[in-house]
Amino acid sequence: MGKASIVKENRFTKRREPFNFMLWLGIGGSVLIFTILLAVYIMRKSAGVYWTDVPLPGLFWVSTVAIVVSSLTLHLANHSLRTDRYPEFRRYIAATLFLGILFVILQFLGWYQLINAGISTLNNPSAGFIYLFSGLHIFHILIGIGVLSWAVYQSLKNSTYVDAFVFSVNPPNQLKIKLITIYWHFVDVLWLYLYGFLLYHHGL
């Protein structure tokens, strides 16, 4: 009896999940855009023409806490789904959505603080970058809120234990939850980096 031949899978030619690839491609594109903008910020600040650092809105700090906690609740939602604790999954995924919406509201209220303080893009390019970074990140968050809304809807729709179990073991649904989680953690880390960058250059 001859040896059974073992075909080693080539990692370069194996079929990849297209949605996973598209997500990482989008993440890479977002990182590139923000990297370019941060570089432009540094060059513009170095020029020093009409540039005055303005303090960041205090509500940006509160919104940062909200987005960090939302990553924790999403992690707990995933754990609850994997361990068949569906009521907890519903609560945690709904909490994540709520915190995402709260983050956006707090960001806009932060803009309102800047406007009330007379800080606008017309009198200081430094403020313009704050609005730009925050606005682009809000756009990313709104995409996340959209997909989280789908997850919350599915968690409420599949209210019985059997329906929830069928939903959780369905491979396409597992993939969607996985991609939502990756994306949401990305926008969380992205904001932490942006906020840290702005803190370094502007302070509270």
Q: Residue 178 — pLDDT band, cuts 50, 70, 90? A: very high
The full set of domains in the chain, from first to last, is: 55-203 (1.20.120.80)
Contact (CB, 8 A) for 23 and 179: yes
Give pLDDT, residue 4.
Answer: 45
DSSP classification of residue 158:
S
Upper half-sphere CA count for residue 24 (Cβ side, 13 Å): 6
Report the predicted TM-score, pTM, of the whole model to 2 decimal places. Answer: 0.85
Structure tokens at 199: 């803190």
- 42 contact partners, CB below 8 Å, separation of at least 6: none
Q: What's the rounded mean pLDDT across residues 143-164?
A: 89
Identity of the amino acid at 90: R
Rounded CA separation 26/148 (Å): 18
Rounded CA separation 174/197 (Å): 35
Give pLDDT, residue 169.
Answer: 82
User: Helix crossing, 86-116 with 58-82: angle to 10°?
Assistant: 170
Q: Residue 125 — pLDDT band, cuts 50, 70, 90? A: confident
Cα torsion angle, 155, 158, 161, 166, sign: negative
pLDDT tens, residue by residue, 7-38: 454 454 445 568 788 888 999 999 999 999 99
Residue 89 has pLDDT above 50, yes or no: yes
Neighbours of 85 (CB within 10 A): 16
Give pLDDT, residue 13.
Answer: 43
Question: If DSSP codes are grouped into helix, strand and coil, which group holds residue 146?
Answer: helix
Query: How many percent of the chain have pLDDT more than 90?
Result: 52
Give pLDDT, residue 8.
Answer: 52
- 76 contact partners, CB below 8 Å, separation of at least 6: 88, 92
Q: What's the rounded mean pLDDT across residues 101-110?
A: 97
Give pLDDT, residue 46.
Answer: 84
Q: What's the rounded mean pLDDT across residues 31-58?
A: 86
Q: How far is CA 154 from CA 21, 87, 92, in A?
A: 24, 13, 13
